[in-house]
Amino acid sequence: MEKKDFYNFEYKELKTFLYLNFNLDKKKSSMRTNQIWKFIYRNGFSNSDSFKNLPIELKDKIKENINFARIMIEEKKISTDGTIKWLLKLKDGNLVETVYIPFGKTGTLCVSSQVGCTLNCKFCHTGTQMMVRNLETSEIIQQILVAKDELEDWKIEKKIRNIVYMGMGEPFYNFESVKKSVSILKSIDGLEYASKRITISTAGVSPQISLASDEIKTRLAVSLHAPTDDIREKIMPINKKYKISDLIESCSHYAKINKEKIFLEYILLKNINDTEECAKNLIKLMGKFPCKLNIIEFNAWPGVSYEPSDKEIANKFFNIIKKSGNIVTLRKSKGEDILGACGQLKTESEKKRKNIG
Pick the catalytic residue: 97, 170, 265, 336? 97
What is the average pLDDT across 212-236?
96
Helices vs. strands in the chain: H and E counts, helices first: 10, 14
pLDDT category, 2, cuts 50, 70, 90? Answer: confident
Q: Please give the torsion angle defined by the CA atoms of residues 132, 138, 140 and 145, in that order, rounded to the nearest 10 degrees.
A: -140
Write out pLDDT tens, residues 150-209.
999 999 899 999 999 999 999 999 999 999 999 999 999 999 999 999 999 999 999 999
- How is 143-210 classified by DSSP, letter by letter? HHHHHHHHHT--SSS-SEEEEEE-SSS-GGGGHHHHHHHHHHHH-TTTT---GGGEEEEES--HHHHH
pLDDT category, 336, cuts 50, 70, 90? Answer: low
| Cα–Cα distance list, 289 to 3, 216, 229, 241 (Å) | 47, 20, 18, 21
Average pLDDT, the chain: 91
**pTM (predicted TM-score):** 0.91
342 in catalytic set: yes
Q: How far apart are CA 99 and CA 111, in angstroms?
A: 7
pLDDT category, 354, cuts 50, 70, 90? Answer: very low
Q: Residues of the chain with pLDDT > 70: what percent?
A: 91
Write out pLDDT tens, residues 16-70.
999 999 989 999 999 999 999 999 999 999 989 899 889 999 999 999 999 999 9
At 356 the pLDDT is: 37
Pick the catalytic residue: 117, 124, 291, 342? 342
Q: How far apart are CA 313 and CA 319, in angstroms?
A: 10
**How many CB atoms are located within 10 Å of the residue 146 CB?**
18
